Amino acid sequence: ASLCPGGGYEDGTFFKPLVLLWIVFGLAYFASILTMIGNWLKILSKKTRAEMEELRVHATDWTQNMDFRIPNPLEFNDPFLLQRR
């Protein structure tokens, strides 16, 4: 086994554990980033849910104060009945 320019041996006695460590730490780092993004999304969805609930409360409060009775009967606005006159 001759020395290769990297400092290790060609059969990989030095590089294989290094590559395995690199992969393991890389996966752990990637998983932590994904967890962080997931937590951000959870917080964001809680905030938007709270805002939507607040909007819904305002909307129901507003609709309770409104009067939705139609001033004219619907038959008066019907185009078919308007044609017969």
What is the number of structural domains in the chain?
1
Domain assignment of residue 23, yes or no: yes
The boundaries of the domain holding residue 8 are 1-68
Q: What is the biggest distance separating any 2 CA atoms in the chain, rounded to whole angstroms?
A: 106
Domain assignment of residue 20, yes or no: yes
64, exposed or middle or buried, with CB in 10 Å at 0-12, 13-18, 19+?
Answer: exposed
Q: Are 13 and 7 in contact (CB under 8 A)?
A: no
8, exposed or middle or buried, with CB in 10 Å at 0-12, 13-18, 19+?
Answer: middle
Domain assignment of residue 85, yes or no: no
Write the pLDDT tens digit of every residue in 13-72. Answer: 778 889 999 999 999 999 999 999 999 999 999 999 999 999 888 888 877 776 666 665
pLDDT at 75: 63
| Amino acid of residue 48 | T
The reply to whether the predicted model has a pTM over 0.75 is no
Domain assignment of residue 41, yes or no: yes
Domain assignment of residue 16, yes or no: yes
